[in-house]
Amino acid sequence: MLALAADAQPATQPLPDVQLPELVPVHRIAADPLAGIPSARDADPARIAAQQRISAALTAVGSAFARLDAARAAEQARLSALVIQHQSSTVITEK
């Protein structure tokens, strides 16, 4: 273990020169950490089309869940009304 530590390269290597993007307001950086840094893949038409298809599919799934939830609530209300109707028409006799 000590031999490995002795052979290790020093961690202080010079950093490569990096061109910084234009200054971006801090509130935009908090909302989008990559703001101001363009990406070639963001302009790819196939990627944009795929993102739009995914977004449409997620919207459809969300709508389906909303319809299911509405149907469940309607069925629950119908069953509750049946229970109330049954309870009001049933005479409970105690012995």
Within-domain flag for 62: yes
Within-domain flag for 49: yes
Which pair of tokens denotes residue 93? 């006799």
Measure the CA–CA gap between 17 and 62, rounded to whole angstroms: 46
Within-domain flag for 74: yes
pLDDT digits (tens, 9 = 90+) for 21-73: 666 565 555 556 565 566 666 677 888 888 899 999 999 999 999 999 999 99
Q: Which domain holds residue 67?
A: 45-88
Predicted TM-score (pTM) above 0.75 = no
The total number of structural domains in the chain stands at: 1
- Is-contact 36 24, C-beta < 8 A? yes
Within-domain flag for 20: no
* CA 67 from centroid of its chain's CA atoms: 20
